[in-house]
Amino acid sequence: MNTKNIVRESKTIMMVTLVIGIILFAAGAIFRLMDINIVPNKAITGLSFIPLTVAFTHYVKISRIKKSPQKMKSMIINESDERLVALKNEADANS
């Protein structure tokens, strides 16, 4: 069980999606304040919640791994085992 790589990968994804979400939210707020209507301002602001939610889920995952790594062992194995990933991809392709 190599939690260091999974934690590092989750931190990277969390930081990137957090930055993207903040940029989109700020752009929506600035466009709304300046009355610029290139794209509907509510759409940009609403779109910012997708990466913010992804960042939050990765934060929860990291905190759960740090709090109790043994309980998260099965989840880590499911995400990183190549055979299980191949089986899931094959099942998705069949459906």
- The pLDDT tens digits of the residues spanning 17-48 come to 999 999 999 998 898 888 888 777 788 888 99
**CB within 8 Å of 47: residues ≥ 6 apart:** 24, 28
Round to whole Å and give the CA distance between 46 and 2. Answer: 36
Say if residue 78's pLDDT is above 70: no
Quote the pTM value.
Answer: 0.69
Round to whole Å and give the CA distance between 79 and 72. Answer: 11
Q: Where along the chain do its domains lie?
A: 3-94
- Residue 47: closest CA among 78, 71, 26: 26
